[in-house]
Amino acid sequence: MKVIILGSGSYSGTPKPLCTCENCTRARINPAFRRTRFSVYIEGGILIDPGPDLHYHLEKLNKEVETILITHAHFDHIFGLPDAQVFKKLTIASNPLGIKVARSLAMLAFNSEAPLGNDWDYVELKFWNEYKVNGVKVIHFPVVHSIEMAGGFLIERKNKTVAITGDTGPEIIRDSEVIDLIKGSDLLISEMTHKESIPKTHLGVNDAIELAKIVKAEQTVFAHISHSNYPQEILEKKVREAKISGIVARDFTIIEI
């Protein structure tokens, strides 16, 4: 089963407009260092977080999507939803705040909760409950982040499990309930936004690596990386030195599990 990191960046992307930091400067010269906003595609028509770069992601991906899962309602994780209008039948699932914002975006874009002629189903997920969404097992778990309601996902398809932290503060490392749920996953997709963690907001490099060591997934992919983080090769070196079975994502990184 293939998993594709469509966008590996954080809210501003890299390069950030008007920024002259090292990562932004390098990204303007070499497209390999560019990062669009975070989004993930899982083989079988599952898309996580339709951010503002969704049109670009879908243009490159060129695959059908049946299910959209939204970790939380911050703009960089949801504001591309209207570009999903190319999909006639779609299930959109998230926590209540995520669904409220998703419905509002559709109303703003289409004057309706779905484009004319489309069949969009909105599903509110309660944290910790197990759901079958288009035949795929989904558990939405809560995380601490700078918004009223945010979470990650444990997704099971074809006997393979993918754990996605979503945007989370370092508090996740001490959350035994979340750790027990995602431990030993086939793939962990962990945010690694900044050099240093910001409590109740984002993971830094060391805490992201520590989370990977605790979860002990078969593979770990670090994503949601800010332009202000270390350059790609330094992040890769830190992960390698930590003896993590994993990689630092670039846009359109493909993982086979």
Query: Quick one: the chain helix, strand, coil %, rounded to 5?
Result: 30, 30, 40
Instruction: Please state whether the peptide bond connecting residue 115 to the residue before it is cis, i.e. omega within 30 degrees of 0.
Output: no
Residue 241: what pLDDT?
98
Helices (H), the chain: 22-29, 54-61, 75-78, 96-110, 176-182, 205-215, 232-241
Count of positions (residues) in the chain: 257
**Torsion 249-34-4-224 (CA) sign:** positive
Question: For residue 240, what pLDDT band results from cuts at 50, 70 and 90?
Answer: very high
Residue 170: what pLDDT?
98
The rounded mean pLDDT for the chain is 98
Q: What is the pLDDT of residues 58-91, one digit of tens each?
A: 999 999 999 999 999 999 999 999 999 999 999 9
Residue 121: what pLDDT?
98
- Residues 94-115, mean pLDDT to the nearest whole number: 98
Structural domain span for residue 97: 2-256
Q: How many folded domains does the chain comprise? A: 1
CATH number at residue 41: 3.60.15.10
Nearest in space to 211 (alpha carbons), one of 237, 249, 185, 250: 185
Question: For residue 168, what pLDDT band results from cuts at 50, 70 and 90?
Answer: very high
Question: For residue 204, what pLDDT band results from cuts at 50, 70 and 90?
Answer: very high
Residue 234: what pLDDT?
98
Q: Helices 232-241 and 205-215 sit at what angle, rounded to 10 degrees? A: 40
- Residues 126-139, mean pLDDT to the nearest whole number: 97
